[in-house]
Amino acid sequence: MPLVWLIMPLIVFIFGLCIGSFLNVCISRLIHDESIVFPASHCPKCRKKIKWYDNIPVVSFLLLKGKCRNCFERISWQYPIVEILTAVIFLCIFTKWGFSRELIVYNLFVSGLLVIAFIDAKTTFIPDVITIPGMIAGLILKVIFAFIDKSFTNLFDAGSGMILGLAVFGFIVIVSRGGMGIGDIKLAGLIGVFLGLKNTFSTIWLSFILGGIVGIFLLVSKLKGRKDAIPFGPYLVMGALISMFWGENILNWWLGH
Ligand SMILES: [Zn+2]
247: left (phi over 0), alpha (psi -120 to 50) or beta: alpha
| Single residue among 32, 65, 99 that ends a domain in this structure | 99
| Nearest-angstrom CA–CA distance, 154 and 170 | 24
- 257 residues of the chain, pLDDT tens digit each: 677 778 999 999 999 999 999 999 999 999 988 877 777 788 888 989 999 999 999 999 999 999 999 999 999 999 999 999 999 999 999 999 999 999 999 999 999 999 999 999 999 999 999 999 999 999 999 999 999 999 999 999 999 999 999 999 999 999 887 778 899 999 999 999 999 999 999 999 999 999 989 888 887 887 777 667 779 999 999 999 999 999 989 989 988 87
Ligand 1 centroid – CA 58 distance (Å): 17
Last residue of a domain, one of 64, 99, 134: 99
Q: Same domain, yes or no, for 115 and 39? A: no
Q: Which residue segment(s) compose the domain that 116 sits in?
A: 100-257
pTM equals 0.92
Give the distance (Å) from ligand 1 centre to CA of residue 46: 4
74 bridge partner residues: 67
Q: What is the DSSP string of 176-194?
A: HTTSS-HHHHHHHHHHHHH
Q: How far apart are CA 209 and CA 212, in angstroms?
A: 5
Are residues 161 and 55 both part of a single domain?
no
The CA 74 to ligand 1 mean position distance, Å, reads: 8
Residue 16 Cα to ligand 1 midpoint, Å, equals: 26
Torsion (CA) 144, 150, 151, 154 in degrees, nearest 10: -20
Q: How far apart are the first and last CA of the chain?
A: 36
Domain count within the chain: 2
Whole-number Å distance, alpha carbon 120 to ligand 1 midpoint, is 25
Residues 256, 136 share a domain? yes
Give yes or no: residues 129 and 94 share one domain: no
From ligand 1's centre to the CA of 214, what distance in Å?
A: 35
Are both 161 and 143 inside the same structural domain?
yes
